[in-house]
Amino acid sequence: MEVTTIQNTCTLSENSLRFGNPVKDEDLDELISGTTPANTKKSTAKAVRVFNDWRISRNTALENIPNLDHFSVDDINRWLSRFIVEVRKRDGDFYPPKSLYLLTTGILRYMRENGNTLNFMNEKDDRFIRFRRSLDAQMKFLTSKGYGSTVRQADPISRDQEERLWTSDVVGHESSETLLYGVFFYNCKLFGLRGRDEHHELDISQFEVGEDDIGKFIQFVERANKTFKGGLKHRNVDHKNIKHYVTTEDSDRNLVHLYTSYIGLIGDKDGKFYKRPIPGTLKFSKQNIGVNRFENLMKEMCNKAGLEGNFTNQSRKRTCATQLYQSGLDEQQIMSRTVQRSLNGV
C-alpha cells in the first residue's frame, strides 16, 4: 500500500502570516454571536422570556411542559399551539398579529441556536401543520377584532418641512449642533441610513467629499450593517456605493459645504463619524455620540423646528424613499439606496 506524505512547503513564520493564529470553539461562538444584530438578540430574549413565563404558570398546574431545548414535534403541535392562543401582554390584552408572529419566530431562533433543529415554520414540513394552522387561525382572529390596525406609521419629512429645518436654524453652519443635525438628516435622506446602530457604527473613512468631471459630490461607501452583512445570503448583493452630486451652489444650502465643514471640524481621518457637539460653539468633543442618542435624534430635530407629525426612526428611510419617488426615480433606483429587497418593501 502506497502512503502519500504531505510536505510542508512553508516555513513557520510564513504559515503564521498566511493562516493566522489557531482559533478555539469559543472564538468561533463569539464570532457568530457578534454578527447577530442587537435588536434580534433582544427580540429572541423577549420571546423566550414570555414563553417561559407562560410555561412556569402552566406547570404549577401540573401540565409538565418541557423546556424549549427538548421540544419534540408533538410538543410543538401541542404546547406551542396552546401558547400562541393563550399568551397575553402584561395588562391582559391580546398581542397584535404581527407581534404574535414575532414571538413565534423568536422562539424558533432560540431553538435553532441551542441545537433544536425542528423548523416548525417550514411550510413544506407537514409534521407541523397543526401548529401553523393554529397560528394562522389566531392571527386571523386577532385581525378580525382590530388588533394591530391602529398602529400609526412614521411620517416622512416633506420638502417644505426640510426647508423649515434650515430656516429655523436647526440645520445649518452656525454651530456644531446645527452641523450635526445637518449631516445626520442628510445621511438619512441621501443614503437611506435608518437604524441607530447603522448611524452609531459609521466611520469617517466611509465618506468622501470631492469633485470630478460631473461636479461636486458626497460619496458614501457601505460596510456591514443590519440590512447588509456580506455573508452567504448576501453573496450576490452589492454594498452601497453612492455618489450624490450637489446641484445647487447656494452656500446656505450647499451640502458639500455642510459635510466639508463638519468633517473638517471633527478633525479625525479615522474613527466614528458622529462626535459630540460642544453647545454654543463650532467645536466638537473627541467623544463619540452614544448609540442611545440616535434613538430620538430625528424627533428631537423636528420638535426644535416646530414640525407637526409622527417623526420616529422610521421617518429616516421613509423620507429618503418618498423624496426619491417624488423626484421621478423608479423603484429599482430607490431600492439601491434604501436597500429594500422587494418592491413591496419600497
Residue 317 maps to which CATH number? Answer: 1.10.443.10
pLDDT of the residue at 333 = 55
The structural domain count of the chain equals: 2
Q: 234 pLDDT band (50/70/90 cuts)? A: very low
Q: 223 pLDDT band (50/70/90 cuts)? A: confident
- Domain annotation covers residue 240: yes
pTM score above 0.95: no
Note whether 114 and 172 are same-domain residues: no
SS3 assignment, position 295:
helix
**Residue 40: pLDDT over 60:** yes
SS3 assignment, position 104:
helix
pLDDT of the residue at 236 = 46
Note whether 118 and 171 are same-domain residues: no
- Domain annotation covers residue 243: yes
- Domain annotation covers residue 247: yes
Note whether 138 and 233 are same-domain residues: no
State pLDDT tens for residues 243-290: 888 876 555 678 999 999 999 999 866 789 999 999 999 999 999 999
Top-confidence residue, 294 or 38 = 294
Note whether 40 and 74 are same-domain residues: yes
Q: 334 pLDDT band (50/70/90 cuts)? A: low
| Amino acid symbol at 137 | A
Report the C-alpha gap between 329 and 62 in whole angstroms: 61
Report the C-alpha gap between 113 and 69 in whole angstroms: 9
Mean pLDDT of 114-138: 95
Note whether 314 and 213 are same-domain residues: yes
Task: Choose the final residue of a domain: 144, 171, 202.
Answer: 144
CB 119 within 8 A of CB 112: yes
- Domain annotation covers residue 7: no
**Residue 4: pLDDT over 60:** no
Domain of residue 118: give its range. 24-144
**Residue 344: pLDDT over 60:** no
- Domain annotation covers residue 180: yes
Task: Choose the final residue of a domain: 116, 144, 172.
Answer: 144
Note whether 170 and 313 are same-domain residues: yes
Report the C-alpha gap between 346 and 329 in whole angstroms: 12
CB 25 within 8 A of CB 84: no
Task: Return phi, psi of residue 174, to 5°.
Answer: -75, -30
**Residue 346: pLDDT over 50:** no
Strands 275-277 and 284-288: antiparallel
Note whether 235 and 137 are same-domain residues: no
Give the neighbor-by-neighbor strand order of the sheet with 241-245. 207-211, 216-221, 241-245
pLDDT of the residue at 141 = 95
Note whether 73 and 137 are same-domain residues: yes
CB-CB neighbours of 307 under 10 Å: 20
Note whether 97 and 178 are same-domain residues: no
Note whether 121 and 179 are same-domain residues: no
Q: 95 pLDDT band (50/70/90 cuts)? A: very high
Report the C-alpha gap between 193 and 325 in whole angstroms: 17
> Which residue in this structure is represented by grid cell 407637526?
308
pLDDT of the residue at 317 = 59
Top-confidence residue, 26 or 6 = 26
Note whether 285 and 315 are same-domain residues: yes
Task: Choose the final residue of a domain: 115, 144, 173.
Answer: 144
Note whether 203 and 310 are same-domain residues: yes
